[in-house]
Amino acid sequence: MYGEGDIMRKSNYDVLPQRKKMVKLNTGGNARNAWIAYDSIPERFQKKIVEKIGAPYKKVRYIIWADYIKADFDAERYFKTYTLEPHCQRKNSWNIYIRQWC
């Protein structure tokens, strides 16, 4: 938001949440990113965000889960040899992938 992002000055970033003009969902620090509710950001700053990166709601409308799931061949091998109905084997393999991702 400030610094490299050049959306607002640091003073605005610090003061707006104190004045209840912007909502921080999570504070940053120690390699964590700060989260700010986009709808709570004043409109003048929202316009700058749209100019720099595009409309956020359009960008995150579709999330491709396959980008985040890693294949676990040991789990797949386990469920293929486990005595289940064939249609359940594939389902359980995907459940393991997703559990390991979370």
Structure confidence at residue 83 as a pLDDT band (50, 70, 90): low
SS3 content of the chain, % helix, strand, coil (to 5): 55, 5, 40
Task: Determine what percent of the chain is predicted with pLDDT higher than 90.
Answer: 30
Domain extents in the chain = 10-59, 65-101
> Is-above-0.85 flag for pTM?
no
What is the spatial distance between Cα 12 and Cα 1, in angstroms, rounded to a whole number? 10
Residue 64 has pLDDT above 80, yes or no: no
Strand partners, 35: 26
What is the spatial distance between Cα 87 and Cα 47, in angstroms, rounded to a whole number? 50
Residue 98 has pLDDT above 90, yes or no: no
Work out whether the CA dihedral 28, 52, 62, 74 comes out positive or negative.
negative
Average pLDDT of 57-77?
78
